[in-house]
Structure 1
Amino acid sequence: MTITLLLAFALLLVIGAPIAVALGLSSAIAIVVHDLPATVLLQRAVASIDSSPLLAVPMFIMAAALLSATGVTTYMFDLVRMIVGRVRGGMAHVNVLLSLVFAGMSGAALADIGALGGMQVREMEKQGYTRRFAAGLTIASATIGPIFPPSIPLIIFAAAAEVSPVKLLLAGIVPALLLAGALMAYIAIVARSQNLPRDDVRPSLPAFARLALISLPALLTPVLLIGGLLSGYFGPTEAAGITVAYAVLIGVAVYRTLTLRALLDSARDTVLATANILFVVAAAAVFAWVLTMDQVPMKAGAWLLGVSDNPLVLLLILNGVLLVAGMFLESIAAILIIAPIVTPALIQAGAPAEQIGVVMVLNLMIGLLTPPVGMSLYMMAITVRMPFAEVVRGVAPFFIPLFTALLLVTLFPGLTAWLPNYLMR
């Protein structure tokens, strides 16, 4: 049954079927060929999206769309420029820090690229950076978004692996900061060796105070989110709802730029993005059910534990599998298929669930930067009207800091597990 499933899935991918169609149709073929009840298709698909944690996904998407609609990203960009712009390679550092700040509002790499990518590349070109370098850095720094809370992929992982979504969201904070630090360290080295330009911004205290005051309401968004999770007053779903309400409040009452038209556009974009995600979730759930019926998760877990009972060895194997899978599979589909298979064995071997989730998501976010399916590459090429091959060449050097951060997160479980365990004692 598994062979039928995988052959049908591979064939559908080769002929260009969308990932959700390939997952669902290959599952249907396997079910029909092996005379399983066809009603399970609808049952499993509906049951997979009837999930409280998944309710957070559309609301976090909506919150990011609303905050982008207010135009506050321009003020935040100018604020970060004043802080670090005058150092050598300053605009590159601004790129990374702005992605870190926006990560606390979007939770998705593609949202980061869509909202900030064009502006970041244009401003870096004005300062004398090559378009290739600017585009490569922009999509590399966008990988921070899905690690730092609110992380949509981590919420998906929590639902698929049946682990605490609150702990997973908190577990992403330190790795996201580590990833930003690795990118900035690499930029500092390149800035000295290639004599990267300094920003021509002229900081002044009045201008800085004005920008800080304007940006403050938006910058408080991740503080509200993380504070609410830590206080225990609400979980990820409630936090997402509160974030949407807060985005509407500051958009209407503080920035006064959130018009009815912008609100409707944000709602439309949210519906489209959510439909795409949940279509993949539903199709992947049926795909995973077929694998479960053939006892693939149990066999895979037994095989992994037979190879080694050392969690580090198993995580290194997982890294290899995910880096290959990320080249061909959409990240959410990969999480939904792979997480239920490997997570129980890794937890049994002693790896913290928080570490497994962050390692998996970080691997798959790097997969967004690798052809042939790397969606970040295609989105950047479209956003800045740049040849796809040039985008690939631009991002290639930034795999050095990305893989460095991934290796550290893999080697040291405390980077992911310490903070949630400490804060939620």
Structure 2
Amino acid sequence: MSSVLLLTMMLGFAFSVSIAVSIGGSAMLGLALFDADKLVLAPKEMFSALDKFPLAAIPFFILAGNLMETGGISRRLVDFAKSLVGGVQGGLPMTCVLTCMIFAAVSGSSVATTFAIGSVLIPALIHHGYPRNYAAALQATSAELGVIIPPSIPLILFGVAAEVSIGELFIAGFGPGLLIGGALMLFVHLYCRLKGWGKQDGEGRLSVTRATGNAAWALLMPVIILGGIYGGIFTPTEASVVAVFYALTVGLFIHRELAPKDLLQVLRKSVISSAVIMFIIANAGLFAFLITRAGIPEAIGAWLTEILKSPLWFLLGVNVALFVIGMFIETSAAIIVLAPILVPVARHFGVDPVHFGIIMVVNLALGMITPPFGVNLFAACTVARISLDQIIRYLVPFVLVIIGCLMLITYLPWISLALRDLVYAAPAVAPSIGPAIGPQ
């Protein structure tokens, strides 16, 4: 059965069948050919894959991101970031990276970040003389931070699939997110100096005081969300609902840029995005059930243990494999299918599952900006109104920067685990946050 599952899935990918249909179709075919009397298990396993409390956070974080975009919160975050770093050469690209870091602390979705921030900054970058394809590549890459800096939808999925504390994953995501964001900001600054771009990036820049005042409500949002999670006030799932309520209140009654007539379109866009992700999760859940039943995880684990004799080689091999997989398989599906397979092997090699989860998410997030199925690339190209092939030239250096950061994250565990260990080692803090951030 296992060979049929994998072959059918890969054929589906090769013929451009959607990810969810390729995964679910291969699972259904495998059941029909080898265990037809168990077809009744298909809807049960698909429902079981969705029947998890933390997954409720996904549609709410997507809705919160769309409300922030429509309600003017994202534009105010851009002005705030520009007031901080926009005064130097290359300040506008640095503003793009910094804004995505802040926006990621609420939306949890890289695609939502691409549209929300890209709709403001891509036209601004083009207006200031940056090439259109460079602006699109920069936005697609910066938005990747949306799945690394918590709250993060892929981290939620990994926590559910691998039975790892979502709160610990969130805490561990800060270090890698700041590392990648800082590396990207340094790179774009040096690159712009080399190219001679961005000498007038400070035009129209607000003072820090004024920009902070305008963005005060927007900046308070991640403080409330993340502070509530780690303060034990609400769980990560409940935080997503708080984010929606906050974005709705600020957009309707404080900024007054979100009109009641806009809500239907915002809800429609959020429902479509959520349904796509949930459909992938349901089909990937069925596929994961069948490959587990076929003994594939144990076989792969034994093979990896035999071939890769040390943790260093194991992590290198996994990184190479995940990079290739991420180019062809959607991040959510890859996490749900691969996490139950790889985490037990990582434990065998003594790798902390939280550290491994960060490695896996950062690596697969690269798939969002690598052809042929990079969803961030399609989103950025849509906003910039260019074709995918036009973005590749400027994309390669960004990918190399993130790969360099990934190697540091992989082989320097303290980047991910230092803050996690600090929080859980503090006796005055740990008891109060335990129930809120444990496995859910």
Tell whether the structures are fold-level matches, with TM greater than 0.5: yes
- In the TM superposition, 1:24-423 aligns within 5 A as 24-36=24-36, 37-198=38-199, 199-201=201-203, 203=205, 205=207, 208-308=208-308, 310-423=310-423
For 1:356-386, what per-residue CA distance to the aligned partner results, in whole angstroms no more than 9, with x for missing partners? 1111111111111111111222222222111
Letter in 1 for 2:161: A
| In structure 2, C-alpha distance between the alignment counterparts of 1:312 and 1:185, rounded to whole Å | 28
Instruction: Report which stretch shifted further, 157-166 or 375-384.
Output: 375-384
Q: Pick closer, same or farther for the CA change 1:329–1:76 going to 2, 3 Å.
A: same
For 1:82-104, what per-residue CA distance to the aligned partner results, in whole angstroms no more than 9, with x for missing partners? 22112111111111111111111
| In structure 2, C-alpha distance between the alignment counterparts of 1:22 and 1:209, rounded to whole Å | 52
Aligned-residue offset at 1:155: 0.4
| In structure 2, C-alpha distance between the alignment counterparts of 1:133 and 1:343, rounded to whole Å | 37
| In structure 1, C-alpha distance between the alignment counterparts of 2:290 and 2:205, rounded to whole Å | 60
Aligned-residue offset at 1:309: 5.2
For 1:15-54, what per-residue CA distance to the aligned partner results, in whole angstroms no more than 9, with x for missing partners? 2211111111110100111125001101100011000111
Aligned-residue offset at 1:209: 2.7
| In structure 2, C-alpha distance between the alignment counterparts of 1:381 and 1:133, rounded to whole Å | 11
| In structure 2, C-alpha distance between the alignment counterparts of 1:223 and 1:310, rounded to whole Å | 41
For 1:303-327, what per-residue CA distance to the aligned partner results, in whole angstroms no more than 9, with x for missing partners? 2222345333212111011111011
Letter in 2 for 1:271: V
**Secondary structure, counterpart of 1:119 in structure 2:** helix
Aligned-residue offset at 1:158: 0.7
| In structure 2, C-alpha distance between the alignment counterparts of 1:174 and 1:306, rounded to whole Å | 32
RMSD of aligned Cα (Å):
1.5
Letter in 2 for 1:120: L
Aligned-residue offset at 1:211: 2.5
Aligned-residue offset at 1:260: 1.8
For 1:198-254, what per-residue CA distance to the aligned partner results, in whole angstroms no more than 9, with x for missing partners? 21425564xx43331221111112111221121122211111122222222222332
Kept in 2: contact 1:107–1:151 (CA 8 A):
yes
Kept in 2: contact 1:9–1:22 (CA 8 A):
yes
Q: Pick closer, same or farther for the CA change 1:388–1:71 going to 2, 3 Å.
A: same
Kept in 1: contact 2:126–2:132 (CA 8 A):
yes
Letter in 1 for 2:264: L
Kept in 1: contact 2:122–2:383 (CA 8 A):
no
| In structure 1, C-alpha distance between the alignment counterparts of 2:237 and 2:374, rounded to whole Å | 29
The residue number in structure 1 matching 2:14 is 14
Aligned-residue offset at 1:334: 0.7
| In structure 2, C-alpha distance between the alignment counterparts of 1:175 and 1:200, rounded to whole Å | 29
Kept in 2: contact 1:230–1:423 (CA 8 A):
no
List runs of 5+ in structure 2 lacking aligned partners: 426-440
| In structure 2, C-alpha distance between the alignment counterparts of 1:4 and 1:244, rounded to whole Å | 43
Kept in 1: contact 2:90–2:197 (CA 8 A):
yes
Q: Pick closer, same or farther for the CA change 1:227–1:200 going to 2, 3 Å.
A: closer
Aligned-residue offset at 1:263: 2.4
Letter in 2 for 1:129: Y
Kept in 1: contact 2:73–2:251 (CA 8 A):
no
Kept in 1: contact 2:158–2:335 (CA 8 A):
yes
Kept in 1: contact 2:140–2:380 (CA 8 A):
yes
For 1:310-363, what per-residue CA distance to the aligned partner results, in whole angstroms no more than 9, with x for missing partners? 333212111011111011111111111111100111023211122111111111
Number of equivalenced pairs:
423
User: Aligned residues: percent identity?
Assistant: 35
| In structure 1, C-alpha distance between the alignment counterparts of 2:370 and 2:136, rounded to whole Å | 14
Kept in 2: contact 1:281–1:336 (CA 8 A):
yes
Kept in 2: contact 1:60–1:106 (CA 8 A):
yes
For 1:114-156, what per-residue CA distance to the aligned partner results, in whole angstroms no more than 9, with x for missing partners? 1121322211122221122222111111111110111011101
For 1:395-414, what per-residue CA distance to the aligned partner results, in whole angstroms no more than 9, with x for missing partners? 11212211111111011111
| In structure 1, C-alpha distance between the alignment counterparts of 2:424 and 2:248, rounded to whole Å | 30
| In structure 2, C-alpha distance between the alignment counterparts of 1:256 and 1:366, rounded to whole Å | 37
| In structure 2, C-alpha distance between the alignment counterparts of 1:89 and 1:127, rounded to whole Å | 10
**Secondary structure, counterpart of 2:215 in structure 1:** helix
Calculate the TM-score normalised by the size of structure 1. Answer: 0.96
Letter in 1 for 2:203: V
Q: Pick closer, same or farther for the CA change 1:365–1:211 going to 2, 3 Å.
A: same
Aligned-residue offset at 1:291: 0.5
Instruction: Report which stretch shifted further, 104-113 or 322-331.
Output: 104-113
Kept in 2: contact 1:377–1:392 (CA 8 A):
no
| In structure 2, C-alpha distance between the alignment counterparts of 1:287 and 1:38, rounded to whole Å | 13
Letter in 1 for 2:65: A
Kept in 2: contact 1:369–1:376 (CA 8 A):
yes
Calculate the TM-score normalised by the size of structure 2. Answer: 0.93
Kept in 2: contact 1:82–1:201 (CA 8 A):
no
| In structure 2, C-alpha distance between the alignment counterparts of 1:375 and 1:95, rounded to whole Å | 18
**Secondary structure, counterpart of 1:389 in structure 2:** helix
Letter in 2 for 1:160: A
**Secondary structure, counterpart of 1:355 in structure 2:** helix
